[in-house]
Structure 1
Amino acid sequence: MVAESLMDGIVVKHWGGVEKKKYSLTELGEAFSVMNLSKEDLTEDGKRCIIYGELFTTYDAIIDNVVSHTDKVDRLTLSEDNDLLFPASTTVDAYSLIAPSAITERGIVLGGDMFGIHISQEHSAEYISLIINAIYRNKLSKYAKGSTIIHLHYGDIKNVEVELPDLKTQLYLVGVVKRLRTKFSIETDYLVKLNKAKQSLLSALFI
């Protein structure tokens, strides 16, 4: 949580200090729907895939390690190299529904209750995901509908405007965030190993 808050702060500060231009979401790329895919379709091996629920539980703004697989082979929806994925429903609240993730690897199977945008090469899907998560969640959450189950449809948000800098500036921030993510991951792994070593040492002392 601390790491996420720090990175959100960096995104907000950088975004606020650069020249930007307004774009509607429909100007950023081509929307697409995905195939049906659920937890029951996951397998130990097969094609790598991302299912709807993982946008909440497994991935954050940038997907850099796809963990699931499926053996489905018919009518697959495959990612392109600059995609932005939105969950389309939740039972929590409208704010938590605005949790897009960017995938920049081709050929990943996509499925479940989500929709995507193939972002044009003039922009970075990873950057757009970062600023939506850090800056535009409140704005976009107003377009979610429902009570028990809250839905978000591309058609409802396609004309919403976001402000973006040029591609070079977008990629600079993405690079900074990725380096920070790597640093936090290494340090977290190190702390886990230290705690395990500490527990082992304490166990040995009190045997």
Structure 2
Amino acid sequence: MINEGNQIILYGQLYTNYTSEISFTNQFVHPKSGSIYSKGNEVIIPASGESSEDISIAASVTSQGIILGSDLNIVTPKSSLNNTFLALTLSHGNTKKRLSKYAQGKTIVHLHGSNFKKLSIKFPSIDEQKKIKDLICKVDNLASLHQESITKTHQIFQIFQSKMSANLEENTPKIRNINYSNQWNQSRLGDIGNTFTSLSGKTKDDFGHGDAEYVPYLNVFNNPIADTSLTDKIMKDPKQNSLQYGDILFTVSSETPNEVGMSSVWLDNRPNVYLNSFCFGFRPVMKYDHLFLANLLRSDSFRKQMYILAQGVSRYNISKIKAMDIKLKLPIYEEQVYIGEFFKLLILNLQLRKKKIKILQELKGEYLRKMFL
């Protein structure tokens, strides 16, 4: 792959970045003799995949001059068929099920060009096909716009997360509200709170039922502020530590050193909620703004100190005792609140966009189920 050259569609793109229509790609190669170039009316389907269901996925190519990579089946429909409509037909409903049956193989399954000659499909007039295609593509485009906004907001978030936190070498951050002038004070993590243990002494029979809950690993790993609705059931046990509002949860292990010690703030007061055994808890003893600390503990300055502590080979772990020696800088409480509210707006924007994408995906799914039986 190169930064500039001829655009190319590789079969993996249909699995990792699927859209009904492909008009451009950000993958480039030097052209080779014998390359197949799109004419803008093709339908492409993977020739191999991990399962018969995965392989039965199609996309239309709507631009000319894109190299169509190897391991792709290429179908050029007649004028009575819109290529995007055909791609949607092959990817959904009974047509997808019938196409899946042609896939052959064990660990890797294959579809051959001859398989498509055996397939019969039903289709409406070309005008109706285009209307159906336009409707689905409109939903896809709206979802793509929201996804682009999420990507840009994440980038803005990361920039401000870095600039609005004071590094250990600095007394103040690079970007700051002019109403605050106090220096940020340096502390050890262990100076502002105490650790507590997570679930222990449990067997698989204790999980999946019961009147208590526990916060799973991925909820901590994925969310600076824990999703209080993402818990699993477990038997109640008074010997376990129950979470309290404002507790900070840290992951203990990960497959890579730069992902250990991910933090999440728990903002709920309900009783009998425990922490999964692959994490440890931290309970601050000083007053702090939860949104501010949630972002500070995910900042580059803090994270770099955390993943230096990672020890291991195939899986990396941290010592919570050593983690308590990590240094951080904190402003006065009022400035914490200001910074926390700023990040709250960005978080709400991200959450709103994600909800809209979910609604659009559900809407698209409903359309496809009713249109392609």
TM-score norm. by structure 2 comes to 0.48
Trace 1:191-206 onto structure 2 (pairs within 5 A). Answer: 191-197=357-363
Q: How has the CA–CA distance of structure 1 residues 44 and 182 changed in structure 2, closer, same or farther, with 3 Å as cutoff?
A: farther
Match in the other structure for 2:284? 119
Q: Which amino acid aligns with 2:229?
A: V
Match of 2:249 among 58, 81, 85: 85
Q: How has the CA–CA distance of structure 1 residues 126 and 46 changed in structure 2, closer, same or farther, with 3 Å as cutoff?
A: farther
Displacement of 1:45 in angstroms is 6.6
Give the conservation status (yes or no) of the 8 Å contact 1:30–1:117: yes
Q: Which is bigger in relative contact order (C-alpha 8 A, separation at least 6)?
A: 1
Deviations 1:92-147 (A, max 9, x none): 21111131111132333223121121012322354223122122211221112111
Distance 1:113 1:43 in 2: 17
* Structure 1: gaps of 5 or more residues: none
| RMSD value, Cα | 2.7
Trace 1:136-175 onto structure 2 (pairs within 5 A). Answer: 136-175=302-341
* Structure 2: gaps of 5 or more residues: 1-149, 166-172, 177-182
Match in the other structure for 2:213? 48
Give the conservation status (yes or no) of the 8 Å contact 1:82–1:120: no
Q: Which deviates the most, 156-165 or 182-191?
A: 182-191
Q: Which deviates the most, 40-49 or 152-161?
A: 40-49
Displacement of 1:70 in angstroms is 2.0
Distance 2:274 2:334 in 1: 29
Give the conservation status (yes or no) of the 8 Å contact 1:38–1:112: no
Match in the other structure for 1:11? 161
Match of 1:129 among 271, 294, 299: 294
Q: Which deviates the most, 21-30 or 72-81?
A: 72-81
Q: Which amino acid aligns with 1:127?
A: F
Match in the other structure for 2:351? 185
Deviations 1:33-84 (A, max 9, x none): 122368764436733320334323xx41111433123231122221122211
Q: Which amino acid aligns with 2:236?
A: V
1:23 aligns with 2:187: yes
Give the conservation status (yes or no) of the 8 Å contact 1:31–1:115: yes
Report the count of equivalent residues. Answer: 204
Between the aligned residues of both structures, percent identity stands at 16
1:68 aligns with 2:231: yes
Q: Highest CA radius of gyration, 1 or 2?
A: 2
Distance 2:217 2:371 in 1: 47
Q: How has the CA–CA distance of structure 1 residues 175 and 64 changed in structure 2, closer, same or farther, with 3 Å as cutoff?
A: farther
TM-score norm. by structure 1 comes to 0.82
Distance 1:54 1:40 in 2: 22
Moved beyond 6 Å, runs of 4+: 202-207
Displacement of 1:195 in angstroms is 4.6
Distance 1:38 1:174 in 2: 39
